[in-house]
Amino acid sequence: CHLIHYLRLSHHLIVLNYLICTFDKLKSVSSEDINITDAVFDGVEVRVFEPPAKADEKLKRSVVYIHGGGWALASARTSLYNNLCRIMAESLNAVVVSVEYRLVPEVCFPEQFHDALRATKHFLQPDVLAQYSVDPSRIAISGDSAGGNLAAAVCQQLSKDEHLTIRPKLQALIYPVLQAFDFNTPSYQQNMNMPVLPRYVMINYWIDYFNGNYDLAHSLLINNHTALDVGQALSFRGRLNWTSLLPSSFKKNYKPVIQTTGKADIVQQIPALLDVRAVPLLAENETLQLQPKTYILTCENDVLRDDGVMYAKRLENAGVEVTLDHFDDCFHGCMIFTIWPTDFSAGVQTRNSYIKWLDENL
């Protein structure tokens, strides 16, 4: 993929996504009991999963789901996410709306955020909810990885929209990516070479999302963009102090990496590095106080572990009821790996725990 990109034959993410979708066509996922339809919500494609109506039932609960893939890969239509949303719809007897936001490199930040926000706001309209027989008081917004990032950012935006009459009751974030401020948190140091999502891959996803230059990767890796002399970052430092936000069991013996002098021009080139629509963990306390009851799933073998744990702590400090569901023996992305040949026990374990929480709280 990178060779093709280097030769300028195509962008490597386009090639990788093509390979993923080609492999995906080899799989078939049964969905006899769920009605699956594709629709367009305010210009954004979505896939809707509807369980059959029950005679004594008037309204169903619902989940707006945003898939992961580094803002660049996968799709609501791939078998992995199709299977997850179908099982959610069946297990919860809920209408599941899976958002098909546009991907890098076709578009970059903030377009993915805008797509997810537009589709969610459209669905939250009373007449649309009535069309799908959804209870307005029982709606969750959820997503995994980059989709968890978008779900958190959308939830924050919805909470501040004074014109909305209907808002999500819950948010459920699965190993979400929530910050690009510090690439040396304990989990980034501990899992820097962990398969599925090594640190350098996550940094490259961020660069692609922001349409930045790969030449900045090393500076980001050593936190040059948030050095003590980078004035734009100073006001955010207290919101992401992992030495106070993480329990000792996660901090272990790792030390903070804080540069005295750095490169302020990085933030000038990529201002989105400090944009809360892209990095929800940096939101102010006044916004966090408005967030709904929250579930956050984290995995030990994941560079993003501490993003989720720190967000849980900040929400808790802001007075939000939070469930942090941590798995010591699981890895990033595991929840969607429940279909042969990638049917892992970690996937079933995390998926069941996630669906159980939704069932008990939605």
Question: Which residue from 45, 64, 78 is spatially nearest to 333, judged by alpha carbons?
Answer: 78
Question: Which residue from 72, 61, 126 is spatially nearest to 97, judged by alpha carbons?
Answer: 61
DSSP per-residue codes, 152-189: HHHHHHHHH-TT-S---SEEEEES----SS-TTSHHHH
Instruction: Please confirm, yes or no, whether 345 is among the known catalytic residues.
Output: no
Cα torsion 125, 127, 132, 136: sign: positive
CA–CA dist 93, 28 (Å, integer): 22
CA–CA dist 134, 94 (Å, integer): 8
**The two structure tokens encoding residue 267:** 């933030």
Q: Residues 12, 114, 225, 332: which is the catalytic one?
A: 332
Plot region of 231 (φ>0 → left; ψ -120 to 50 → alpha; else → beta): alpha
CA–CA dist 327, 13 (Å, integer): 30
Instruction: Please confirm, yes or no, whether 145 is among the known catalytic residues.
Output: yes
State the angle between helix axes of 111-123 and 146-160 in degrees (0 to 180), rounded to the nearest 10.
Answer: 60
Instruction: Please confirm, yes or no, whether 12 is among the known catalytic residues.
Output: no
Output Rg (C-alpha) for the chain, integer angstroms: 20
Q: Residues 144, 302, 306, 307: which is the catalytic one?
A: 302
CA–CA dist 226, 320 (Å, integer): 28
Q: Residues 142, 145, 159, 187: which is the catalytic one?
A: 145
Report the catalytic residues.
145, 302, 332
